[in-house]
Amino acid sequence: MVINRLIKLLGSCDLSDVSSLRAIYKNNNVYSYNGVTIICNETHKSKPEYVKFTIQIPAGMLGLENRNRSLDASTADFCLRSFVSLIEKIDLEQEHKTGKEKFTGKIHIHEPNQKVVVRNSCFFKDDMLNITMVIRFPVHMMEKRNVVAGKLSVKIVRKELGKAVRDFVDFFDNEACIQFNTVYRRQLEIRRLLQKKNLVCFIANNSLLPRGKGEQPLGDVTPFISPSEDEIEITLADGFVIKGMGITEGVTVITGGGYSGKSTLLDSILSGIYNHVPGDGREYCITEERSCKIIAEDGRSVSSLDITPFIRNIPHSNTKAFSSCHASGSTSQAANIIEAVSFGCKALLIDEDRTATNFMIRDSRMKQIIQDDPIVPFTDRVRHLYQKAGVSTILIIGGSSEYLDLADNVYMMKNYTLHNFNKELMPFKQNAYEFYEREDEHEVQWKLERLVKTDSLSSFKRDAESNRIFEYVHIDNNTIHLGKDTVDVSRLDTIISQQQIATIAFIIRYLANRTKEPSFNLYRSIQEVFGLLAEQGLDAIYSNSFDIPHHLELPAMHDVLFAFSRMSMPEYV
């Protein structure tokens, strides 16, 4: 059988020279056994002891041949979690202790978080003959004194890994998969209904919002219950009825005392751009996918951006094409908002604790005293953003009353419970919307086209010592290194994993290697890449030329755009 060839090759790898190990994945690297296909590949040329095994299982073996293809992301997510639970039972380090000698080895497999997203560690792929489920994971071959231990490697593949695959197929829980997909299908349906009902977000009653260690729900917390004035009932196609709070489009203010749960609520709303697994507590906290958090980001890079809707007449700066390697709090927040609107975001989530005060507010007395301030406060733009650009805003406010006059709805958070405060607020209202309207000499352009000069973007750099030019792509904690550029993405709150950061790095590399036009539309080009990934999968952009793990997760499109905008290298037309 073909699998015997793999076992024979692995058994011959007990030597310091790893050339025989490379033979596993260089020639005829496809091995079949009882309908299951194993494909071996190199993860990185500097680490031949790490072999990536791709296991392809026909969907029919799992009873998934007649599955709903529109739920493939959810089905693959369930399969990955099921397989991870089997791999976690394997303790290679303990099993291969022999007296004083200790053999080390590990089966690496991507352990997903609480979100259901598209991954290349587990996905469905159609070919001409059948439908296969592909689970990718590298196996760290057993080592003894820096020598690949071939016989023990055979044991991994034949005994431990073989048993995990057999158990996965034999005991696949189709009923649990159906239940998992049912939750996901309902989430998708609610997400589609948001726009029809003019909602930014829906939060189901009894959702558990506070998070503990590892994003797990905290125990013994107050469940979320909608204010009665805002409670809506949704009946889904399968007859499932769910009640909860609908946050309408427009300007929404959430206020309350310290430690009342305001920020927890905002974080849950932001997290709702992703679907969550059953049992997370936020399964039915569903937010418009094109929502993002806006903060003051002191020190971020801004390149040739028109920030005149908020900032005007800065000495020695052109605010119609503003550039800075270290933007201030107010200029960075202005840039973040303008980029968000230009990149298609439909809702801005803002917590005043992470904003620039001079950007957010200027009360009536200060307006009378300072009449030539170059900063147009957000109070003077927040309603204009909704009326002219269709962009809603949800604000967490605890220290200023200015936004109470500007809100369509005001909520009070008290003892982790949300109350509609519109009626109570009426006697305290001081100004009408018109008080904050700003007269502009020219019509404000919110949606800007960002045209990038192709030649200014490169993934190559020159080594200072050898003078050699080489391609450099690397990621570490919340940082992307591409060519000569370094991008800090630590303050992009909707990036949820290192795997998403890796995907963003490869997408930017893909753009850097395009050679057709002298310039390209950034937003449109990123949309085209996402279309490519939807059609061909995340492997379409991956390369093992860099020491970056194979596991990728699909990020939100606006996070790719935001990361690109924080690069200092690209030049704009």
What digits encode the pLDDT tens for the residues 38-55? 888 878 777 777 788 888
pLDDT at 156: 72
Examine the pLDDT at 5 and tell me if it is beyond 70: no
Examine the pLDDT at 221 and tell me if it is beyond 60: yes
pLDDT at 158: 73
Based on the domain organization, do 43 and 127 belong to the same domain?
yes
Based on the domain organization, do 432 and 474 belong to the same domain?
no
pLDDT at 6: 66
Based on the domain organization, do 352 and 375 belong to the same domain?
yes
Write out the H or E segment, with its range, that includes residue 383.
helix 382-389
| Across 366-389, average pLDDT | 87
End-to-end distance of the chain based on CA atoms, in angstroms? 60
In a domain, 404, yes or no: yes
The structure's pTM equals 0.93
pLDDT at 128: 30
What is the 3-state composition of the chain as percent helix, strand, coil, each rounded to the nearest 5? 35, 25, 40
3-class DSSP state of 90: coil
pLDDT at 148: 64
Domain boundary among 407, 436, 465: 436
Amino acid letter at 68? N
The rounded distance, in Å, linking the Cα atoms of 476 and 478 is 6
In this prediction, residue 228 has a pLDDT band, given cuts at 50, 70 and 90, of: very high
Q: Name the average pLDDT for the chain.
A: 88
The rounded distance, in Å, linking the Cα atoms of 387 and 503 is 35
- 150 or 551: which leads in pLDDT: 551
Examine the pLDDT at 133 and tell me if it is beyond 60: no
Based on the domain organization, do 479 and 391 belong to the same domain?
no
| Across 139-150, average pLDDT | 63
Based on the domain organization, do 415 and 456 belong to the same domain?
no
**Range of 362's domain?**
291-436
pLDDT at 160: 80
Amino acid letter at 548? I
CA 141 to chain centre: 31
Token reading at 276: 């969550």
Angle at 497 (CA atoms; ends 494, 501), nearest 5 degrees? 85
In a domain, 184, yes or no: no
In a domain, 181, yes or no: no
In a domain, 526, yes or no: yes
- 392 or 514: which leads in pLDDT: 392
pLDDT at 278: 97
In a domain, 249, yes or no: no
For 399-439, what is each residue's pLDDT tens digit? 888 899 999 999 999 989 999 999 999 888 887 887 788 87
Instruction: Centre a 10 Å sphere on the Cβ of residue 132 and count the other Cβ atoms it contains.
Output: 20
Domain boundary among 436, 460, 484: 436
Based on the domain organization, do 463 and 338 belong to the same domain?
no
The rounded distance, in Å, linking the Cα atoms of 291 and 278 is 23
For 173-216, what is each residue's pLDDT tens digit? 999 999 999 999 999 999 999 999 999 999 999 999 999 887 88
In a domain, 192, yes or no: no
In a domain, 19, yes or no: yes
Based on the domain organization, do 393 and 532 belong to the same domain?
no
Domain boundary among 128, 148, 172: 172
Min mean pLDDT across 23-37, 115-129, 379-393, 466-480 is at 23-37
pLDDT at 279: 94
Q: Which residue has the tokens 């007990």?
A: 14
Based on the domain organization, do 47 and 152 belong to the same domain?
yes
Examine the pLDDT at 529 and tell me if it is beyond 70: yes
Q: Which residue has the tokens 């301030």?
A: 373
Based on the domain organization, do 423 and 528 belong to the same domain?
no
Based on the domain organization, do 58 and 163 belong to the same domain?
yes
Residue 216: DSSP 8-state? P
Based on the domain organization, do 426 and 533 belong to the same domain?
no
The rounded distance, in Å, linking the Cα atoms of 561 and 344 is 10
Return the percentage of the chain with pLDDT > 70, whole number.
88
E strand segments, 29-158: 30-33, 36-42, 50-58, 97-98, 101-102, 104-107, 115-116, 122-126, 131-144, 147-148
In a domain, 505, yes or no: yes
Token reading at 513: 């290697």
pLDDT at 125: 85
Examine the pLDDT at 7 and tell me if it is beyond 70: no
Based on the domain organization, do 56 and 154 belong to the same domain?
yes
Measured on CA atoms in the order 254, 257, 260, 262, is the torsion positive or negative? positive
In this prediction, residue 141 has a pLDDT band, given cuts at 50, 70 and 90, of: low
Q: Are 428 and 402 in contact (CB under 8 A)?
A: no
Count of structural domains within the chain: 3
